[in-house]
Amino acid sequence: MTGESLSGISRLLIGDIRIPVDAPDAAAFRQAEKRAAACGCFGPLLRIKMHRKSIDARRRDAITFVCTVYAEAETTADPDTERLAAFRIRFEKREPLERPVGKERMSGRPVIIGMGPAGMFCALLLAECGFRPLILERGGALDERIRTVDAFSSGGSLDCSTNIQFGAGGAGTFSDGKLTTRIGDARCDTVLEWLHALGAPEDILWRAKPHVGTDLLRGVVRQADARIRALGGEIRYHARAERVGDDALYVGRERIPFGALVIACGHSARDLYAELIGSGFSVEAKAFSVGIRIEHLQEDIDRAMYGGMAGKYGLTAADYALSLRIGERGVYSFCMCPGGQVVAAASEEGGVVTNGMSFHARGGRNANAALAVSVLPSDCGGSPIEAVAFQRELERTAFRCGGGTYAAPFQTVGDFLNGRTGTAPQRILPTYRQGDVRAADLHTILPSFVTEMLEVGLHRFGRQIRGFDAPDVPMTGVETRTSAPLRILRDPVSLCALGHDRIYPCGEGAGYAGGIMSAAVDGLRTAQAILRRFARPHIDTADE
């Protein structure tokens, strides 16, 4: 594919354009026009717009934006690869999302367990192709969910069915809404375009590190719910799948038959995991991570990353990504939330779980991130049941150390590194449940292989970001839900669960994704597998 259409118009990406942080986008467009003209293969640029824009802050005295510009232009000469490369120009190679058409008759409607990113995007594609999916979501609808989460965050009781893990939109709804991923799948562009069409801001289409924010994600989830219903789909909240067979599942005593079943349950559906394992599904333990949430003043992170330019030229709240690997084990920052807050993410009674969240503006006083250490299957017995038990025991220990009231155990970096406890937060105030934290020794909660890696990581990261390991920096525990600790095995071609011909494990909860983008992509991939196999169901005109 050359990137040219039948009209002779080429779609171009002109990259490695650098502009000062105080320059408008038009400065990048002017450089793109000069570059294309110098190449000598194209006419004037048409429909020019920003394709990707990132910050290069490696030199804090000379921070720049690095841009890739999209444009269309008539091809006036045959451009060879070397000439294009010399001018950092390439053709955009983009195919529309495949919507295959199968032949096999579907015996019933497709049913999807879970209304997180994987289930939602799977349902959107199936609904657009006329399959009228049924989504079963164990948690509540969005408005109910917001009320329930806000009540728990303010010190109220935990609702085990509707919380930060369960409900409309999945765990990603109460997050920073990061849309970065390393999977390099062409479906990522479709996910971004659909999110924008559902109400996400336009800049997610070109920012190098796009994010939506939990406040705007709520609107996206509402629009997705409405879109699926408008296309003939159905969504049932407070509908927890309890038993799964090869042709039907049960919600309470109700038997729900399916023509195809997508299991997009999210990484916290531990009861469903147990049901699937007990029913003979092939499930294996996989690596995951556990750790703590660390908080800094956002202005400190901004100064460390931007130097004297912090707070100027509209630079957004700075983020960071840190990692260190020693042998098979790593320690790294995860789900970094600029200007955000640490949230209470428990979904089971008697357990404390932390996570991070921020609004689109990222205007909060603190920055937070998980500092997570990899856990290997051999660290917790090697079986999926033991991996879940490992997570659960850490959460229950944190609950006990927090006083049994869902307060979170807390320790400053200085105390953690020097074997002390009891230093109260002063300059940087923890944001978990409005400061509902209790001093504890995190070494007594987390395994030694985790705390040892955290200590090494803190020292290393403190050399990379000034003040990262300052003595008064607060750490709150525990972070245990970074990803599913297991994988529901599926055939790599059909995507069906091994030994279960019409059941499709999907997304982060099934062990095939690690964030909003990759989960949504796996939802689209799974929907395509169903479309490739099954014919569009006949719809009786009486139902129209």
pLDDT score, position 80: 87
Select the more confidently predicted residue: 60 or 526: 526
Q: What pLDDT shows up at residue 5?
A: 40
Tokens of 312: 């100027």
User: Distances from the Cα of 497 to the Cαs of 34, 68, 137, 490, in angstroms?
Assistant: 53, 41, 20, 4
C-beta of residue 298 within 8 angstroms of C-beta of residue 339: yes
CATH homologous superfamily, domain 110-283+488-543: FAD/NAD(P)-binding domain (3.50.50.60)
The pLDDT, as a whole number, for residue 538 is: 66
Looking at residue 408, what is its pLDDT? 98
* pLDDT at position 4 over 60: no
CATH assignment of 9-91? 3.30.70.2700
Residue with tokens 């400053």: 412
CA distance 311 to 191: 32
pLDDT recorded at residue 537: 79
Once rounded to an integer, what is the mean pLDDT over residues 490-519?
Answer: 97
Q: Would you call 230 helix, strand, or coil by DSSP? A: helix
**Mean local confidence (pLDDT), 17-37:** 95
User: CA dihedral defined by 400, 404, 409, 415, rounded to 10 degrees?
Assistant: -70
Please say whether the dihedral angle defined by the alpha carbons of residues 468, 421, 479 and 359, taken in this order, is positive or negative: negative
Q: Which two tokens stand for residue 147?
A: 């009320």
Query: Which is more confident, 472 or 57?
Result: 472
**Cα-to-chain-centroid distance, residue 437:** 26
The two domains 9-91 and 110-283+488-543 share their CATH topology (first three levels equal): no
The radius of gyration of the chain's CA atoms, rounded to the nearest angstrom, is 25
Q: Domain-by-domain residue ranges, the chain?
A: 9-91, 110-283+488-543, 287-479
pLDDT at residue 451 tops 80: yes
Across 274-353, the runs of DSSP E, i.e. the strands, are 283-285, 288-297, 323-326, 329-337, 341-344
Q: What is the mean pLDDT of residues 394-405?
A: 97
What does the alpha-carbon distance between residue 517 and residue 117 come to, in Å, rounded to a whole number?
8
- Cβ contacts of 208 within 8 Å, gap of 6 or more: 52, 53, 54, 55, 66
pLDDT for residue 367: 98
Q: What is the mean pLDDT of residues 4-10?
A: 59
pLDDT band at 62 (very low <50, low <70, confident <90, very high): confident
pLDDT above 70 coverage of the chain, percent: 97
Token pair in block for residue 295: 């908080």
What is d(CA 540, CA 542) in angstroms, rounded to the nearest whole number?
5
Mean pLDDT, residues 60-86 taken together: 91
53-57, 265-269, 270-274: the lowest-pLDDT one: 53-57
Cα gap 270→386, rounded to integer Å? 12
Mean confidence (pLDDT) of the chain:
94
pLDDT tens for 120-168 read: 999 999 999 999 999 999 999 999 999 999 999 999 999 999 999 999 9
Distance of alpha carbon 179 from alpha carbon 518, whole angstroms: 9
The pTM (predicted TM-score) of the whole model is 0.94
What value does the mean pLDDT take over residues 481-506?
97
pLDDT, tens digit, 9 for 90 and up, residues 172-192: 999 999 998 888 899 999 999
